[in-house]
Amino acid sequence: MLEILYHDEHLIAINKPSGLLVHKSFYSGEADTYAIQELRKQIGQKVYPVHRLDRKTSGVLLFTLDKETLRIMSTQFEEKRVEKKYIAILRGWTKEEETIDYDLVNENEITQNAITYYRRLQTSEIDLPFLKHQTSRYCLVEAIPETGRFHQLRKHFKHILHPILGCRKHGCNKQNKLWLQTFDINKMTLHAHQLIFNHPFSNERITVNATIDDDFKKVGDILKLDLSAYS
């Protein structure tokens, strides 16, 4: 059963598990189950995804229950009136805060402007030798993408040389292999923890929060990060 975070006559939001595709996609490959199908079966009616999360990304995923609401909410996203907040564990220690303004090339080879703001929340250093270093450093950040490009956060953090721990395509495969061999963990530590938007009909400001899963907590425990605000 999918965890339902918000539900009224127009909208429904779930806490999407890591590994679950939102819907069929040429770029994401095939799967046995999809969030859109599972949610339709669970509540017994059609749902329409307003946005998407990567397969390995967990967290708040918003659907509408009719096409008119979908139109209104899609406009909110397009006009950047929806605030999306993520947490991620990165390799190394980033700056305390930064705005990454770095264009990205999408799946159709079109260059698009992409902007991400992040702030560093916590740092960690553990006795895990890596290459010439006797320890390994990591940090927890909160990231707010101002644009919604494909794999934006994963690509932006790679660009600043602080890739997301566990990310394969845009991460550090040597670090990922080290974590798999040492801790038996291959979790991508990227979670959409909060979505803030105006209700399409009442205009009430709605905040939806999603807690992290056990695998994310396990990584946090190893790094001695305080993730209680997201649990």
> Nearest 10 degrees: CA dihedral of 212, 217, 218, 220?
130
Write down the catalytic residue from 54, 101, 213, 221.
Answer: 54
* Distance in angstroms (rounded) separating the CA atoms of residues 122 and 23: 34
Q: Quick count: other Cβ atoms within 10 Å of Cβ 4?
A: 13
Contact in structure between 63 and 6 (CB atoms under 8 Å): no
Contact in structure between 104 and 98 (CB atoms under 8 Å): no
Contact in structure between 64 and 47 (CB atoms under 8 Å): yes
214 counts as catalytic: no
Q: Catalytic positions, please?
A: 54
